[in-house]
A = this chain, B = another copy of it.
Amino acid sequence: MIAQATNSSEGLAQKLSDSGLRATPQRELVYRSLLQQRDHPTAEEVFARVKTEMPTISLATVYNCLETLVQCRLIRQVNHERSSTRYCPNLRPHAHFHDEQTGEIHDVDLPAPFLDQLKSMLPTNFHASAVEITFLGKSEKNS
Contact = CB atoms under 8 A, between A and B. Distances in A.
Contacts of A92: none
- Measured as residues with beta carbon below 8 angstroms from the partner, the interface class of chain A is 35 or more
- How many monomers of this protein are in the complex? 2
A110 B118 CA distance: 9
Contacts of A114: 118, 121
B134 A131 contact: yes
Q: Would you list the 9 A-B pairs with minimal beta carbon distance, nearest first?
A: A128-B137, A128-B135, A132-B134, A130-B136, A125-B140, A129-B137, A126-B139, A125-B142, A127-B137
16 contacts: A79-B82, A82-B82, A108-B121, A114-B118, A118-B133, A119-B135, A125-B139, A127-B137, A127-B139, A128-B137, A130-B135, A130-B137, A131-B134, A131-B136, A132-B133, A132-B135
